[in-house]
Amino acid sequence: MKFVVTAGPTREYLDPVRFLSNPSTGKMGFAVARVAAMRGHEVVLVAGPVSLKTPKGVRRIDVTSARDMLAAVEEEMAKAKSGKPTIFVATAAVADWRPAKCAPRKLKKGQMSDTLKLVRNPDILKEIGRRTKTAQSPTRPIIHSPTYLVGFAAETNDVIAEARRKCREKNLDMIVANDVTEKGSGFGVDTNRVTLVRKDGSVDRLPLMTKLAVARRIVRECEDLCP
Ligand code: CTP
Protein backbone atom coordinates (compact mmCIF):
# COMPACT_ATOMS: atom_id res chain seq x y z
CA MET A 1 0.00 0.00 0.00
CA LYS A 2 1.03 3.64 -0.35
CA PHE A 3 0.83 5.81 2.77
CA VAL A 4 0.71 9.60 2.46
CA VAL A 5 1.15 11.09 5.95
CA THR A 6 1.00 14.75 6.99
CA ALA A 7 2.80 15.79 10.16
CA GLY A 8 3.74 18.78 12.27
CA PRO A 9 2.39 22.32 12.25
CA THR A 10 2.06 24.73 9.35
CA ARG A 11 3.34 28.29 9.42
CA GLU A 12 1.36 31.17 8.01
CA TYR A 13 3.62 34.18 7.52
CA LEU A 14 2.52 37.80 7.77
CA ASP A 15 6.00 39.08 6.88
CA PRO A 16 9.39 37.33 6.45
CA VAL A 17 9.98 37.12 10.24
CA ARG A 18 6.50 36.61 11.78
CA PHE A 19 4.01 33.78 11.48
CA LEU A 20 0.94 32.11 13.00
CA SER A 21 1.44 28.49 14.07
CA ASN A 22 0.91 25.99 16.92
CA PRO A 23 3.05 23.78 19.21
CA SER A 24 2.86 20.54 17.17
CA THR A 25 6.24 18.75 17.02
CA GLY A 26 5.30 16.10 14.41
CA LYS A 27 6.03 13.12 16.68
CA MET A 28 2.77 11.25 16.01
CA GLY A 29 3.01 11.57 12.21
CA PHE A 30 6.69 10.61 12.12
CA ALA A 31 5.86 7.52 14.21
CA VAL A 32 3.10 6.50 11.74
CA ALA A 33 5.49 7.00 8.80
CA ARG A 34 8.23 4.99 10.53
CA VAL A 35 5.96 2.05 11.36
CA ALA A 36 4.36 1.97 7.88
CA ALA A 37 7.84 1.92 6.24
CA MET A 38 9.01 -0.81 8.66
CA ARG A 39 6.01 -2.87 7.56
CA GLY A 40 7.09 -2.62 3.91
CA HIS A 41 4.69 0.06 2.63
CA GLU A 42 5.64 2.93 0.33
CA VAL A 43 5.58 6.04 2.55
CA VAL A 44 5.56 9.74 1.70
CA LEU A 45 5.74 12.08 4.67
CA VAL A 46 4.61 15.66 4.05
CA ALA A 47 6.08 17.56 6.99
CA GLY A 48 5.61 21.08 8.26
CA PRO A 49 8.54 22.79 10.00
CA VAL A 50 9.76 20.28 12.63
CA SER A 51 13.16 19.20 13.90
CA LEU A 52 12.82 15.41 13.65
CA LYS A 53 14.98 12.99 11.66
CA THR A 54 13.40 11.38 8.60
CA PRO A 55 12.58 7.72 9.43
CA LYS A 56 14.40 5.06 7.38
CA GLY A 57 12.73 4.15 4.09
CA VAL A 58 10.46 7.22 4.09
CA ARG A 59 10.36 9.87 1.35
CA ARG A 60 9.95 13.27 2.99
CA ILE A 61 8.59 16.47 1.45
CA ASP A 62 9.11 19.59 3.58
CA VAL A 63 6.45 22.28 3.38
CA THR A 64 5.70 25.48 5.25
CA SER A 65 2.11 26.65 4.81
CA ALA A 66 -1.26 24.86 4.65
CA ARG A 67 -1.52 25.67 0.96
CA ASP A 68 1.95 24.14 0.29
CA MET A 69 0.87 21.07 2.27
CA LEU A 70 -2.34 20.66 0.24
CA ALA A 71 -0.43 20.98 -3.06
CA ALA A 72 2.13 18.34 -2.00
CA VAL A 73 -0.58 15.93 -0.77
CA GLU A 74 -2.65 16.34 -3.95
CA GLU A 75 0.36 15.64 -6.13
CA GLU A 76 1.29 12.51 -4.16
CA MET A 77 -2.29 11.19 -4.08
CA ALA A 78 -2.58 11.69 -7.84
CA LYS A 79 0.75 9.91 -8.46
CA ALA A 80 -0.42 6.72 -6.76
CA LYS A 81 -0.71 3.91 -9.27
CA SER A 82 -4.17 2.94 -10.38
CA GLY A 83 -5.31 -0.05 -8.36
CA LYS A 84 -2.74 0.39 -5.58
CA PRO A 85 -4.58 1.33 -2.38
CA THR A 86 -3.54 4.67 -0.93
CA ILE A 87 -4.00 5.58 2.71
CA PHE A 88 -3.99 9.24 3.66
CA VAL A 89 -3.20 9.71 7.34
CA ALA A 90 -3.62 13.37 8.36
CA THR A 91 -1.83 13.94 11.65
CA ALA A 92 -0.74 17.53 10.87
CA ALA A 93 -1.93 20.41 13.03
CA VAL A 94 -2.82 22.60 10.07
CA ALA A 95 -3.37 26.31 10.81
CA ASP A 96 -7.01 27.01 10.01
CA TRP A 97 -6.37 30.66 9.11
CA ARG A 98 -3.61 32.66 7.47
CA PRO A 99 -2.99 36.41 7.37
CA ALA A 100 -4.86 37.94 4.43
CA LYS A 101 -1.60 39.51 3.22
CA CYS A 102 2.05 38.60 3.60
CA ALA A 103 4.35 41.62 3.38
CA PRO A 104 7.50 41.07 1.27
CA ARG A 105 9.65 42.93 3.84
CA LYS A 106 9.64 43.01 7.65
CA LEU A 107 6.81 45.19 8.89
CA LYS A 108 7.99 47.95 11.19
CA LYS A 109 6.01 48.39 14.41
CA GLY A 110 4.66 51.70 13.13
CA GLN A 111 3.31 50.00 9.99
CA MET A 112 1.33 47.34 11.87
CA SER A 113 -2.24 47.80 12.96
CA ASP A 114 -3.69 46.31 16.17
CA THR A 115 -5.90 43.93 14.24
CA LEU A 116 -4.81 41.26 11.81
CA LYS A 117 -7.08 40.35 8.91
CA LEU A 118 -7.24 36.58 8.46
CA VAL A 119 -8.58 34.30 5.73
CA ARG A 120 -9.52 30.62 6.00
CA ASN A 121 -7.02 28.00 4.89
CA PRO A 122 -8.10 24.97 2.90
CA ASP A 123 -9.05 21.90 4.93
CA ILE A 124 -6.63 19.39 3.40
CA LEU A 125 -8.34 16.27 4.71
CA LYS A 126 -11.82 17.46 3.72
CA GLU A 127 -10.60 18.44 0.26
CA ILE A 128 -8.97 15.05 -0.38
CA GLY A 129 -12.10 13.33 1.00
CA ARG A 130 -14.37 15.28 -1.31
CA ARG A 131 -12.25 14.54 -4.36
CA THR A 132 -11.76 10.83 -3.76
CA LYS A 133 -15.23 9.89 -2.59
CA THR A 134 -17.21 12.09 -4.98
CA ALA A 135 -16.65 13.87 -8.29
CA GLN A 136 -13.16 14.62 -9.56
CA SER A 137 -12.34 18.26 -10.21
CA PRO A 138 -11.21 18.99 -13.80
CA THR A 139 -8.75 21.64 -12.61
CA ARG A 140 -7.04 19.47 -9.98
CA PRO A 141 -4.87 16.34 -10.27
CA ILE A 142 -6.99 13.20 -10.64
CA ILE A 143 -6.84 10.60 -7.86
CA HIS A 144 -7.16 7.13 -9.42
CA SER A 145 -6.46 4.61 -6.71
CA PRO A 146 -8.83 3.30 -4.04
CA THR A 147 -8.28 5.67 -1.16
CA TYR A 148 -8.77 5.35 2.58
CA LEU A 149 -8.77 8.37 4.83
CA VAL A 150 -7.67 8.54 8.46
CA GLY A 151 -7.92 11.78 10.41
CA PHE A 152 -6.97 12.94 13.87
CA ALA A 153 -9.13 15.04 16.16
CA ALA A 154 -7.37 17.16 18.74
CA GLU A 155 -10.03 18.15 21.26
CA THR A 156 -10.31 19.76 24.66
CA ASN A 157 -13.94 18.73 25.32
CA ASP A 158 -16.72 16.44 23.97
CA VAL A 159 -13.97 14.30 22.43
CA ILE A 160 -16.04 11.43 21.02
CA ALA A 161 -18.97 13.55 19.79
CA GLU A 162 -16.57 15.94 18.02
CA ALA A 163 -14.62 13.03 16.52
CA ARG A 164 -17.85 11.48 15.18
CA ARG A 165 -18.85 14.81 13.64
CA LYS A 166 -15.46 15.22 11.91
CA CYS A 167 -15.51 11.60 10.70
CA ARG A 168 -18.89 12.21 9.04
CA GLU A 169 -18.21 15.72 7.71
CA LYS A 170 -14.78 14.85 6.30
CA ASN A 171 -15.91 11.52 4.83
CA LEU A 172 -13.31 9.49 6.80
CA ASP A 173 -12.83 5.77 7.27
CA MET A 174 -11.46 6.31 10.76
CA ILE A 175 -10.62 9.14 13.11
CA VAL A 176 -8.14 9.03 15.99
CA ALA A 177 -9.38 11.27 18.77
CA ASN A 178 -7.45 12.61 21.68
CA ASP A 179 -7.99 15.05 24.50
CA VAL A 180 -4.95 17.33 24.23
CA THR A 181 -5.45 18.63 27.75
CA GLU A 182 -5.06 15.15 29.28
CA LYS A 183 -1.73 14.36 31.00
CA GLY A 184 0.56 12.36 28.67
CA SER A 185 -1.43 13.25 25.52
CA GLY A 186 -1.15 15.83 22.79
CA PHE A 187 1.62 18.16 21.68
CA GLY A 188 5.31 17.40 22.23
CA VAL A 189 5.09 14.34 24.52
CA ASP A 190 6.13 10.79 23.56
CA THR A 191 2.86 9.22 24.70
CA ASN A 192 -0.78 9.51 23.71
CA ARG A 193 -4.13 8.21 24.91
CA VAL A 194 -6.40 7.95 21.93
CA THR A 195 -9.82 6.66 20.99
CA LEU A 196 -10.38 5.14 17.55
CA VAL A 197 -13.73 6.04 15.99
CA ARG A 198 -14.54 4.11 12.81
CA LYS A 199 -16.92 4.95 9.98
CA ASP A 200 -19.30 2.17 11.08
CA GLY A 201 -19.63 3.93 14.46
CA SER A 202 -17.53 1.47 16.46
CA VAL A 203 -15.29 2.98 19.11
CA ASP A 204 -12.08 1.65 20.74
CA ARG A 205 -10.71 3.49 23.75
CA LEU A 206 -6.99 2.70 24.01
CA PRO A 207 -4.92 3.05 27.18
CA LEU A 208 -2.01 5.51 27.53
CA MET A 209 0.62 4.22 25.08
CA THR A 210 3.81 5.47 23.46
CA LYS A 211 3.21 7.28 20.17
CA LEU A 212 5.11 4.45 18.47
CA ALA A 213 2.67 1.88 19.89
CA VAL A 214 -0.30 4.06 18.85
CA ALA A 215 1.25 4.26 15.36
CA ARG A 216 1.54 0.44 15.20
CA ARG A 217 -2.14 0.12 16.03
CA ILE A 218 -3.14 2.75 13.43
CA VAL A 219 -1.09 1.14 10.66
CA ARG A 220 -2.61 -2.27 11.49
CA GLU A 221 -6.11 -0.75 11.35
CA CYS A 222 -5.23 0.81 7.97
CA GLU A 223 -4.08 -2.55 6.64
CA ASP A 224 -7.43 -4.00 7.75
CA LEU A 225 -9.32 -1.27 5.84
CA CYS A 226 -8.11 -2.64 2.51
CA PRO A 227 -9.99 -5.67 1.30
N1 CTP B 1 -6.99 19.09 8.94
C2 CTP B 1 -6.53 19.36 7.67
N3 CTP B 1 -6.55 20.66 7.20
C4 CTP B 1 -7.00 21.66 7.98
C5 CTP B 1 -7.47 21.39 9.29
C6 CTP B 1 -7.45 20.10 9.74
O7 CTP B 1 -6.11 18.44 6.96
N8 CTP B 1 -7.00 22.91 7.51
C9 CTP B 1 -7.01 17.69 9.42
C10 CTP B 1 -6.08 17.41 10.58
O11 CTP B 1 -4.81 16.97 10.11
C12 CTP B 1 -6.83 16.31 11.32
C13 CTP B 1 -8.30 16.63 11.09
O14 CTP B 1 -8.32 17.45 9.92
O15 CTP B 1 -6.59 15.04 10.77
C16 CTP B 1 -9.01 17.34 12.23
O17 CTP B 1 -8.26 18.47 12.62
P18 CTP B 1 -8.68 19.31 13.89
O19 CTP B 1 -7.68 20.44 14.07
O20 CTP B 1 -8.96 18.40 15.06
O21 CTP B 1 -10.08 19.88 13.49
P22 CTP B 1 -10.60 20.97 12.50
O23 CTP B 1 -11.12 20.28 11.30
O24 CTP B 1 -9.58 22.05 12.27
O25 CTP B 1 -11.87 21.52 13.29
P26 CTP B 1 -11.99 22.42 14.63
O27 CTP B 1 -10.87 23.44 14.56
O28 CTP B 1 -13.35 22.99 14.49
O29 CTP B 1 -11.86 21.49 15.81
Return the CATH number at 129.
Answer: 3.40.50.10300
Atom of ligand 1 nearest to the CA of 151: 15
CA 111 to ligand 1 center in whole angstroms: 33
Q: Would you state the pLDDT for residue 112? A: 85
77 or 45: which carries more pLDDT confidence?
A: 45
Residue 145 pLDDT class (50, 70, 90 cuts):
low
The best mutation among 73, 166, 174 to test binding of ligand 1, ranked by most ligand atoms within 8 Å of the C-beta, falls on: 166
Cα 110 to Cα 37: distance, rounded to the nearest angstrom: 50
22 is catalytic: yes
Tally of structural domains, the chain:
1
Q: Would you state the pLDDT for residue 82? A: 67
In the chain, % of residues over pLDDT 90: 75
CA 22 to ligand 1 center in whole angstroms: 13
Q: Would you state the pLDDT for residue 19? A: 98
Residue 83 has pLDDT above 80, yes or no: no
Q: Would you state the pLDDT for residue 111? A: 84
Q: Where are the beta strands (DSSP E) in 92-205?
A: 97-99, 118-120, 147-155, 174-179, 191-192, 194-198, 203-205
Range of the domain at 7: 2-225
Nearest to 8 by CA among 133, 95, 98, 115: 95
Residue 136 pLDDT class (50, 70, 90 cuts):
low
Residue 121 pLDDT class (50, 70, 90 cuts):
very high
Contacting residues for 174 by C-beta, under 8 A, at least 6 apart: 150, 151, 167, 196, 197, 198, 199, 221, 222, 225
Task: Give ligand 1 pocket residues (Cβ under 6 A).
Answer: 6, 66, 90, 92, 94, 96, 121, 123-125, 151-154, 166
Q: Would you state the pLDDT for residue 131? A: 78
Mean of pLDDT values over 123-149: 76
Residue 100 pLDDT class (50, 70, 90 cuts):
very high
Q: Would you state the pLDDT for residue 79? A: 84
Model's pTM, two decimal places? 0.94
Residue 148 pLDDT class (50, 70, 90 cuts):
very high
